[in-house]
Amino acid sequence: MRIIKLMLMCMLAVILISCGTRNPFKPADPSIPAISFSEDKIPVLGAEYLYRQHVIAPQSKGNECYAYRLTTLNGKLPDGFRADPEGWILFSDQGSEPRVWTSRSTLQLDFPSAEGVIHNLLTAVELKVKSADARIQSYSSAFRSNRLITSRIDIPFANGASTGQGLEFGLREVIGDIFVEGLSAHHFMYRINEINAQQDVIYAGVWHSSLDSPDIRKVRLSANSDPSLAPNPEGIFTQFESYVVSRQGIVESGHHTVYFRVEEGFSPQTLIYSATIAGLGQYHYSRIQDSPIYYNEVIPTDSDRKNLALWKAPEPNTFKAIHSDDFILHLKWGQLGEYGWIWNGDIITDNADPFGRELNLVLDADTNENYHSKIAYFDLRLDGAPFPALSQFVAPILQTDNDGTQWLRVRNINPDARHCLLSNLSSGTHIFQARAVDLAGTADNSPAFCNIDLQPYVPASSRSGILLVDDCPHNSSSAPETVINGFYTGVTPQTFGPVDYLNLLPDGQTMLISPAQMMNYKAILWYSDNPSQMSHLSQNLEGLDIYLDAGGNMVLSGTNKLVSDFTNSRDRYRAFTEEHLGLMQPDSYAKLSSNSISSNYFIEAVGLGGLPDVELNLENPFNNIVSTRQGLSTVTYFHPGTGLDYLYQFGCKLPTATAYPPTQAQYEFFSSQYVAYQHSHNQSRVVIFGFPLSYMESGDVSQALTYIFTNMFNGGKK
């Protein structure tokens, strides 16, 4: 009997301390949901506001009691709340003594702003739920908010895109309109799921923290990462899911997802940007303000000599410069898709302009398809060995292929991983190789390469021969190629060494002549005798500047187009026009005529100071206009009184001539003008003919050139 009474007393005690009348022996509902939260911003006076947070306990069908322990930003409870020594909130329900158990399933906490900033708020809660049968379940949660902080996923593709097996996900926090000091991301949580075509999750992955990544806002996944990316079967997609956790421990309430199809077989294509293969040294530089590299001083300097692109050689992927002990080489590499633009949804790559717009895409080497990866590394080699481990590279490592080939593997984490300066290079040919490695670990199986040919400097005393530079595009009537080339081969003296030929316009494409090529010759004879075409002098000023500065010599034969050539040269590089051509004023020269059929008054060049006269070929000219009009009009002449050292005077047709004669005034004027001069600057000498030598009598030209070259190489005119 005493046992029965004891049992009844215990049951009564349980009932008295419980908060409801539900049957205390009923089993707890296993489907009780977790804690939920809500929040609101309530305006008050002025710009201040009240930040209101609600904690909502999980509910069941019966009556429960609740105990709360709160964590706040500054460790202080909001006004109206107090706690026992263990931190559990004390309640006085209906005037009873304070205790931790309450029937309140929702808590409201108000935090006022100060100067628009919230300095305290609820960051986490621990909850105990006691059912009517006295069973207690414990819960804990960080405060979940979509107003304080949310996030987004930055990806370079749209949902459903096909991708490779190496991807980078940018994770960004988004701060709401409730301002808390230092509110930002502490880390992001993410996982990889599998979904079907209806976007139903068929496999949910394990959550990972971005704290395990070098950058908490970047998650890189590949076939070898954890979690990993594997090719998707047909009809299946991979889903990336994430949310943010703030520095205060607040968890984003919602999750963000993106889905895609992982495919295999993609690989990057490596590029070496030829436009930025530049150098700077005693015999390689630019003083021209609009040089392609000039405004990008990839090789720093304080002088007026700036970095200059190397010259392209006829051999594929080969670039030339003249070597010097102080020569510095700049190289820049990247991948297909790094530069370009997007037009009507199509990716247009502009790989010739690495200073243009950056796309930072990775395109497949075979299909040019964007597979949405990034380049993780560049593998580099120089002269058949791993590239030097420059100090600008971050933690480079040695990479060895299966065949034993070794590379320097450079982490692609900043621009210094994609360009370099090299010094202390020897003369000769250097081979540079580069290959891109994407996030999947796939390396370009056809590495890019280039040959850097550093030609040894040849002193002026060791040079030999004359180089004929053909800057004369073919025209059957005014510039027949075989006739003109044969003419110059025949009239150029061979007493000074070999006479070699260079076509400046192979296959109709303009070639820039390299000073490394000119440096071997005592002089160059540059002819641009087609009166319908301008010369390419102004495009070659940098090479000519280096050659002439180093004691080179030049003879230039031209037409009335020299007026435009001089103007263009002055506009582009005034110092060259004045120093090497001696043309101090733009009004020191003029053209006889703008076309070939008017003012055909020039018939000879009258030699000065013992130079032989050079007559126009009127007996059997290849040009019909010269034949019918018995004179030449496509001539540039120079005015007296300019200070130029003139070699030839304008030989004008007489007013009594039977074919298209000048007036007496025209005769007197043109007879006082000059058609050729010489100019010296330091150790170089230049002779300019304002008329096309190939239109003249070959015997006269041969005699004149022998005289001019002899005096040029002897240091001056006799």
Same domain for 473 and 448? no
Compute how many other C-beta atoms are within 10 angstroms of the C-beta atom of residue 414: 10
Residue 97 banded pLDDT, cuts 50, 70, 90: confident
Inside any domain, residue 3: no
d(Cα 598, Cα 300) in Å, to the nearest integer? Answer: 52
Compute how many other C-beta atoms are within 10 angstroms of the C-beta atom of residue 383: 14
Phi and psi at residue 492, in whole multiples of 5°? -80, 125
* Secondary structure (3-state) at 2: helix
Q: How far is CA 324 from CA 78, 278, 317, 331, in A?
A: 76, 14, 22, 18
Inside any domain, residue 1: no
> In sequence order, which residues have a C-beta less than 8 Å from that of residue 117 and are 6 or more positions away?
179, 180, 181
Same domain for 434 and 291? yes
pLDDT of residue 99: 93
Same domain for 324 and 446? yes
Strands in 147-250 per DSSP E? 149-154, 161-163, 167-175, 179-180, 185-196, 201-203, 208-209, 218-221, 236-246
What is the residue whose two structure tokens read 């923290």?
209
Inside any domain, residue 43: no
Question: Which string of DSSP letters, residue by residue, matches 124-143?
Answer: EEEEEEE-TTS-EEEEEEE-
Strand partners, 481: none
The residue out of 455, 486, 518 marking a domain boundary is 455
Range of the domain at 438: 270-455
User: Looking at residues 598-623, what average pLDDT do you find?
Assistant: 97
Same domain for 97 and 218? no
Short-list 415, 306, 395, 312, CA closest to 355:
415
Inside any domain, residue 687: yes
d(Cα 113, Cα 369) in Å, to the nearest integer? Answer: 52
Same domain for 252 and 393? no
Same domain for 215 and 287? no
pLDDT of residue 125: 97
Same domain for 184 and 301? no
Q: Which of 295-309, 417-431, 470-484, 494-508 is the least confident region?
A: 295-309
Strands in 251-303 per DSSP E? 251-252, 256-262, 270-272, 278-280
Counting the structural domains of the chain, the total is: 4
Inside any domain, residue 46: no
pLDDT of residue 345: 77
**What is the tens place of the pLDDT at every residue in 14-32?**
333 334 333 322 233 333 4
**What is the tens place of the pLDDT at every residue in 695-707?**
999 999 999 999 9
Q: Label residue 109 left, alpha or beta by phi (over 0 means left) and psi (-120 to 50 means alpha).
A: beta
Same domain for 306 and 413? yes
Same domain for 60 and 158? no
Same domain for 449 and 469? no
Inside any domain, residue 514: yes
Which CATH number fits the domain that encloses residue 220? 2.60.40.10
Same domain for 621 and 686? yes
The residue out of 455, 471, 494 marking a domain boundary is 455
Whether the pLDDT of residue 92 is over 90: the answer is: no
pLDDT of residue 314: 85
Inside any domain, residue 203: yes
Compute how many other C-beta atoms are within 10 angstroms of the C-beta atom of residue 100: 18
Which CATH number fits the domain that encloses residue 693? 3.40.50.880
Inside any domain, residue 468: yes
User: Looking at residues 260-267, what average pLDDT do you find?
Assistant: 97
Whether the pLDDT of residue 281 is over 80: the answer is: yes
The residue out of 435, 455, 475 marking a domain boundary is 455
Short-list 363, 163, 169, CA closest to 264:
163
Same domain for 493 and 536? yes
pLDDT of residue 14: 36
Tell me whether the omega of the peptide bond preceding residue 78 falls within 30 degrees of 0, making it cis.
no
* Burial class for 371, CB neighbours closer than 10 Å (0-12, 13-18, 19+): buried
d(Cα 306, Cα 573) in Å, to the nearest integer? Answer: 14
